Amino acid sequence: MIIFLLVFLLCFCSGIKTINGQPCTVMATVGRQNTQDKDNNDYNNKGVNAVLLNNNRYQFDCCGFISTWEIFARNGAAVPIDVKVQVWEDTGGNLWNLRGENTITATIDDAENVVIITAPNRIRARNDDFIGFYEPFGSVVTYGGGGNYKTTNFVTDQTSYNWDSEDQGNNRDHAIHAIIVPSQIPVFTNLDDTVAVSNSEVAGTVLFTLTISDGDAEDDSTQLTLANTVNTGSASTLFEYDSLTLEIKVRAGVSLTPGDHSMTFSITDPCGQSSTGTLTLRVENDPPVITSLATSNNKTISEDLTTETLLHTLEVTEADPFTCQIDSTGVPFVIKTISGSSKYGIFLSAGASMDYDTQNAYVLDLSCTDTYDVTTGIYTVYLKRNNPPIINGLPLAIDVQEDSVVETTLYTMSVTDPENTAVTCSIPTITPPTTILFHKPSSNFNEFDIVLQSNPNLQYDLVRTFRLDISCTDGRRSDTGVFFVNVLRNKPTVFLNLQNTTTVSSISSYIGQIVFDVEVTDPENDQVQFSMSCVPSTNSPFEIYHSGEILLTRSIEGEFVPAYDCYVEVSDGKTTTGPRSLTVHVLDINYVPVIRNLPLPSPLVVSENSPLAMSVFQVSIQDNDGEDTHTYTMTSSPPDGILYFDIDSATGLVSTSATTIVDFEAVSSTDYTLTITVTDTKDSATQNLSLTVANVNEPPVYTKKSYVLSVNEGSAGIILPDPGYLYTDEDTGDTHKFSMTCGSNVGYFSISSTTGLITLATDVDVDEAGSAASYTCTVIVSDSVLTDSATLTINVNNINDNTPVFSNNLFTYYLDISYPLNTVFGSAVATDADAGTFGTFAYSIDQTSLGIETFGIQTNGDLYLKNSLTSYGYGASLSFTIQATDTGSLQGTATVFVVIPQTTTTSTTTTNRYITFWEYPANPAWVVILSVLGVFILCLPCFMVWKNKGSCTYKGRTDDYKERIREPSEVYENKEDMTKQRKVNLRWKPWMWFERS
């Protein structure tokens, strides 16, 4: 009854009034709270367990949620007893539908039973619905005189029923009523809003997603009605609304028109509570963007250029069709599309006429437009002035012999044009005038030959100098020069190597052998003729050719003339020079040289990698011609031995090559035969030198000196990826092993000696204090003798391997029912052992079981009251879950109990403690049961003593006497057995106290 009065006062203060219209706008009461007559408070003997109260007192006149049921239990009811309170809808056509029902328990007999229904278990009652109730074991609701009703007997639960077929009863008002509260208005949480949209967005692009909110947990997406009600601009043409995903998208096959386009949406719950919101889609045009001018906005061209030329390709970013043009006027340039392409280019117009001296630059204003926006730009064309051709290195004069007879190119004149233009040259004037000098183009570009014609009949005594005035032009500008031709008087021929002496062997000479070659020079390069006479002149063995060669004409073997004096003359046709003498000495027979220290008894061993130019062997010879000069040469088998070994041609010293190292792994063979030849210019001797190349161990070498690996923090035994070591070893067949050292970071990693793979030797956790995220080690490769090393960096990745943990699994707080809103009442702090990003987490709260968002949690873990506690009532115990979720989606949870004490006195909030034994609702119940059981166990012996009239001795049963009379007739083997049996029969059996007479 106290609870009922509190609810009544609450309703009265809230302005309870008669329900009118749809939907409900205020809290209201439907039904009867009390009846005047409680005598006839059941339907016994009538087979009634279901009642429909089709009286206007029990009829709903608006749409809302039933938040509280109150029933007055019938007098003498066996409580607690369950009753299903119902709301029925008359659909017409003799059919009623069950709108909903709540099963409540009447725990108080002959008094009000108030039950608060929380979301989402509330029944939505609508206009013209009626209250009913159903209790399988008979009615528990009292009634008195009053309105109409109908009764029936349900064998099972019914969701629809023909109440029209039941008889109408009257003069009964049932003590049941419902408190109905208005449904909350659904709203768009992100409207009104304006969204900027690029006109280049493609079909299907999601531009906006509607989000809604409804405080009624019963109103899910299937209960709410969303609609696009009004559109302005071209919104209905350009955009579409997806009612399933609540997304606004670009329609297919449309071109977005710049401007504002609005879409108005409505949201309505089943009670007709509704709201609207407007989304304005502002389509913004993307103007053309000329990207190419940012990197290339000018060009320099020659003023001579006249052909149509592409100067620049415009790169324009624009989704819509666009055009480009030059806005400057009176310029020899144009913008048009490039042939074979959709791009625009800046062109020099065909036939353009430009003059650097008149205008040396053009600043072109250009623009591109997509009909909505115009983008402008500037492109500058600089002119390069034409430079005149340059006659290069023109000499002032050239000399010509007066006896010249053939056509002669006196000089090849080179002309350079800075623009590489073809140049034309001419000789306007020759002084004195003559036709024997002229010019003609050379075979090379912009080169010209100055030519003296054949048989010019030059005469030094008549004309000694000719002046040629030369002019060269590129068609716009020109260069000039002067060239002189001097006529020279003829000069006699000159001997170059006479007087002289020579020798000839009497044994090795042969007929036709050239004994001497006379060398002469003629200043005019005239053709010359030689003549010669020798002393002694009798049977002279020598003859001179017009080439100047003196030949042996007969054998002089056994010759006794020790020398011949020959006299030579030369004539160029105009002048004779000479005679000049040549003495020829005849030599005796020659001695052949001999190699004394080859061949060797065994091959000579040379180790690979021997130093360059290292001495290997000295060839020793003997020659009786003490004054002979000797030359040494060498060949090799295999031939590549010449690459690795050299011989000094003057001394015969054999050494390793000065440029190529002897490499055991690279040579074609390890055994070489060097054939050494020594010659004294007349005769030669040959011997073989055998060499063997010996192998030498060489170290392995890393070709890459630095490696990097990454591994996630984890436990020992994890194998890291293959580092992919790159190293070489010239010794084929060597076996390599790996080792590593990490300085002070000992024990973190191990390495496989055969594969080089790295393994975590211990657990590695970046989150631990003092742990490193990167380790630098040295990896060593060895062929068991020689080694090389490289640097290995191992980076340990920080991963999300720790879940946030609350300081307690359970937090309990006591809050007064009138605790102020938005006020912190406790703190639930969590920690995350991860370092860095993964150590950051956010708090959230799961209070779905409460139906509404009663509590909130701040970013620092503080808990606060978000909605009033009055709907739960005094003595309520609420529980919900708090969550801490890190950036890697790992989540820790804890449970929070909030107890509303059974008092109206403001209580102090208790935080961060575990619930006590007596505060947990189940514990007092168990204590009571165990206490009753203990009392029973303690009282049982006293009760049995009382039943035995205060004696603990067994009195026996009525038939015990008869059994004792029959004892002698029983046969026992001995007296001891009989005594034992008597003791058994006389034993006290307390559990058989009820058998006493």
pLDDT in tens, 31-61: 987 765 565 556 665 678 899 999 999 999 9
Q: Out of 3.30.56.10, 2.60.40.60, 3.30.9.100, 3.30.70.270, which CATH number does the structure's domain 390-488 have?
A: 2.60.40.60
SS3 923: helix
Q: Residue 961 above 80 pLDDT?
A: no
Q: Out of 3.40.1390.40, 2.40.33.10, 3.90.600.10, 2.60.40.60, which CATH number does the structure's domain 701-797 have?
A: 2.60.40.60
Q: Looking at the DSSP assignment, which residues form a beta bridge with residue 774?
A: 795
Range 203-206, long-range pairs (CB < 8 A, 24+ positions):
203/249, 203/250, 203/251, 203/252, 203/253, 203/254, 204/249, 204/250, 204/252, 205/249, 205/250, 206/247, 206/248, 206/249
Q: One-letter amino acid identity for 796? A: V
What pLDDT, on the 0 to 100 scale, is given for residue 689? 94
Omega before residue 499 within 30° of 0, cis: yes
The CATH code of domain 594-694 reads 2.60.40.60
Please state the rounded mean pLDDT for residues 532-536: 93
What pLDDT, on the 0 to 100 scale, is given for residue 13? 36
User: What distances in angstroms separate CA 605 from CA 142, 600, 608, 690, 721, one per listed residue?
Assistant: 128, 12, 10, 9, 47
SS3 455: coil
What pLDDT, on the 0 to 100 scale, is given for residue 35? 67
Query: What span, in angstroms and rounded, lies between the C-alpha atoms of 85 and 96?
Result: 16
Query: What span, in angstroms and rounded, lies between the C-alpha atoms of 264 and 232?
Result: 9
Listed in order, the ranges of the chain carrying CATH 2.60.40.60 are: 186-284, 300-384, 390-488, 497-576, 594-694, 701-797, 810-900
pLDDT in tens, 183-198: 999 999 999 999 999 9
The token pair that represents 121 in the structure block? 């278990």
Please state the rounded mean pLDDT for residues 702-710: 89
Per the CB < 8 A criterion, the answer to whether 321 and 298 are in contact is no
DSSP states of 805-870 = EES-SEEEEE--TTPPTT-EEEE--EE----GGGG-EEEEEE-GGGSS--EEE-TTSEEEE-S-ST
Nearest to 185 by CA among 64, 14, 18: 64
Query: What span, in angstroms and rounded, lies between the C-alpha atoms of 397 and 468?
Result: 10
Average pLDDT score over the chain: 85
Q: Which of 279-283, 285-289, 542-546, 556-560 has the lowest mean pLDDT?
A: 556-560
Please state the rounded mean pLDDT for residues 577-582: 92
Q: Which of 240-249, 331-340, 783-792, 911-920 has the lowest mean pLDDT?
A: 911-920
Which one is predicted more confidently, 318 or 580?
A: 580
Give φ, ψ of 6 to 5 degrees: -65, -45
- In the numeric block, the tokens 């290069």 are attached to 392
pLDDT in tens, 621-659: 988 777 789 999 999 999 999 999 999 999 999 999 999
What pLDDT, on the 0 to 100 scale, is given for residue 940? 78
Q: Which helix (H) or strand (E) holds 945?
A: helix 922-947
Nearby residues of 922 by Cβ (< 8 Å), 6 or more positions away: none
Neighbours of 916 (CB within 10 A): 9
Nearby residues of 946 by Cβ (< 8 Å), 6 or more positions away: none
Query: What span, in angstroms and rounded, lies between the C-alpha atoms of 551 and 727?
Result: 68
What pLDDT, on the 0 to 100 scale, is given for residue 628? 81
DSSP states of 162-193 = -GGGSPPB-S-EESEEEEEEEPPPPEETT-SE
Q: What is the value of pTM for the model shown?
A: 0.40
CATH 2.60.40.60 correct for 497-576: yes
Please state the rounded mean pLDDT for residues 126-153: 85
pLDDT in tens, 100-122: 999 988 888 777 889 999 999 99
DSSP states of 470-525 = EEEE-SS-EEEEEEEEEEE-----EESS-SEEEEEETTT--TT-EEEE--EE-TT-
Q: Residue 474 above 50 pLDDT?
A: yes
Q: Residue 424 above 80 pLDDT?
A: yes
The class that CATH gives domain 300-384 is mainly beta
pLDDT in tens, 224-248: 999 999 999 999 999 999 999 999 9
User: What distances in angstroms separate CA 121 from CA 30, 134, 275, 927, one per listed residue?
Assistant: 18, 18, 25, 33
What pLDDT, on the 0 to 100 scale, is given for residue 76? 65
The confidence band for 905, taking pLDDT boundaries of 50, 70 and 90, is very low
SS3 676: strand
Please state the rounded mean pLDDT for residues 6-27: 52
Nearby residues of 783 by Cβ (< 8 Å), 6 or more positions away: 697, 699, 700, 729, 731, 734, 735, 736
Query: What span, in angstroms and rounded, lies between the C-alpha atoms of 146 and 141?
Result: 14
Q: Which of 10-24, 205-219, 735-749 has the highest mean pLDDT?
A: 205-219
What pLDDT, on the 0 to 100 scale, is given for residue 10? 39
Query: What span, in angstroms and rounded, lies between the C-alpha atoms of 510 and 548?
Result: 19
What pLDDT, on the 0 to 100 scale, is given for residue 405? 81
Fold of 810-900: Immunoglobulin-like (2.60.40)
Buried b / exposed e along 167-194 (16+ C-beta atoms within 10 A): eebeebbbbbbbbbbbbbbbbbeebeee
Neighbours of 557 (CB within 10 A): 12
Q: One-letter amino acid identity for 934? A: G
Omega before residue 80 within 30° of 0, cis: yes
Quote the longest CA-to-CA distance of the chain.
Answer: 198
The confidence band for 524, taking pLDDT boundaries of 50, 70 and 90, is confident
Query: What span, in angstroms and rounded, lies between the C-alpha atoms of 213 and 983?
Result: 86
The class that CATH gives domain 186-284 is mainly beta
